[in-house]
Amino acid sequence: MKKTLCLVLISLLMISLVGCQPQDPVVQPHETDFQSLYPEFVIDSNDTSVTYVDAEGQTLSITKKPARTVVLLNSILDLWYLAGGESLARVKGTINVPAEAADLPILGSFASVSAEALLALEPDLVILSSNSSSQKKLIGILKENDIEYASIDTGTQAYEAFQKNLYLFTQILGTESIYEQKVNNITDQCQTIIDQAKTASQQPSVAVLYVTSKSIRTETEHSLTGEMVSLLGGSNVVSLEEIPVPGSTRVDFSMEVLVARDPEYILICTMGDIDKCRDRIAADIEKSTAWSGLKAVKESKVYYLPKEYSVYKPNAEYPQAFAYLAKILYPEIFSE
């Protein structure tokens, strides 16, 4: 009996000692924290969705790898295809339309998209422009029909937006390697041009005019061309302090300001029929004696820029756009 009791006590003691030994911690499964290249823009990406902050500060979550996407702006369409995506349809136009998308069904113009035709396609995702009031009106219809949408800003600081939006698209499509390969190659070429331009002994003063058949405005450094001029070291005649609404890409044209700043270069971006734009320039400002007295005019440094580099987004052709401007502003460095 005593022997049995001793064996029981010994067993209990051994169990107690084992229980007191330190145990290996239990490893709880967890997801790796997402590290965004643009943490203020793309704030989360996981196996199923991407969350980003749009131009108006709204947080939008997009389901990854949508099967049926429609893109309603051709410069965004170009970017979407560059990221490895496809679209069911597009809007009118030829510039910024990838060859693979040339024969897609047309849903109307950029400013007048047919909501009925759009809904008939039963898309999972609609990508639209946050810079268009007419396209933003579609958001309510998309919400009513439980269709996800991505509102994309391409108008402000377009070169930066090109990189950020392509990053967002590759996150949505699961094609992150395309961003690493294509974007780094594009931006490296651009940076080489930018760095070379900044070796110039003097940085030129520049006025960038945006001309339609009906009006003339002056672009700020937030615009497509204005941003590239600034990155190349040029000084815009419109200072940031003079922009009435922070972030605006254009301000009202003023001959008085143009004369006072007397820029070395005048770059003209045209929207619509270029001959009608030239007529507007002739009617509104070329007849002025003040215009003929400007340094840029007297030295024949007034340039009409190609639309594909100055109005429509260059996207993959940004190196060509930067090179085109650099040859104008720094001919002594970027000679043929």
Mention every residue, 6+ apart, whose C-beta is less than 8 A from residue 102. Answer: none
Q: What is the rounded distance in angstroms from the CA atom of residue 264 to the CA atom of residue 294? A: 8
Would you give the DSSP letter of residue 284?
I
Half-sphere exposure of 20 (CA within 13 A, CB side): 6
- Strand order through the sheet with 148-152: 69-71, 125-129, 148-152
Per-residue pLDDT tens over the stretch 55-97: 999 999 999 999 999 999 999 999 999 999 999 999 999 999 9
- Nearest C-alpha neighbor of 176 from the set 64, 73, 41: 64
Query: Among 253, 228, 254, 226, which Cα is nearest to 240's?
Result: 226
CA 229 to CA 219: how far, in whole Å? 11
Report the amino acid identity of residue 104.
Answer: L
Give yes or no on whether 42-176 and 199-329 have one common fold: yes
The residue type of 274 is: I
User: How many helices (H) and strands (E) in the chain?
Assistant: 15, 14
pLDDT of residue 22: 39
pLDDT tens digits along 194-206? 999 999 999 999 9
Per-residue confidence (pLDDT) for residue 30, from 0 to 100: 34
Give CA angle at 61 (56, 66), nearest 5°.
120
Q: Write the burial class of residue 58 (CB in 10 Å: 0-12 exposed, 13-18 middle, 19+ buried).
A: exposed
Q: Which ranges of the chain have pLDDT less than 70?
A: 1-32, 336
The structural domains of the chain, with segments of one domain joined by +, span: 42-176, 199-329
Quote the tokens at residue 14: 């051994």
Could you tell me the fold of the domain covering 42-176?
A: Rossmann fold (3.40.50)
For every residue of 188-234, DSSP letters joined together read HHHHHHHHHHTTSSSPPEEEEEEE-SS-EEEE-TTSHHHHHHHHTT-
Report d(CA 138, CA 123) in Å as an integer: 13
Sign of the Cα torsion 179, 180, 185, 189 reads positive
CB neighbours of residue 120 within 10 Å: 12
What is the CATH code of the structural domain delimited by 199-329? 3.40.50.1980
pLDDT at 335: 78
Stated as kind and residue range, the H or E segment containing 70 is strand 69-71
SS3 45: strand
Give the bridge partners for 268, in sequence order. Answer: 209, 304
Query: Can you give the pLDDT at residue 336?
Result: 60
3-state secondary structure at position 307? helix
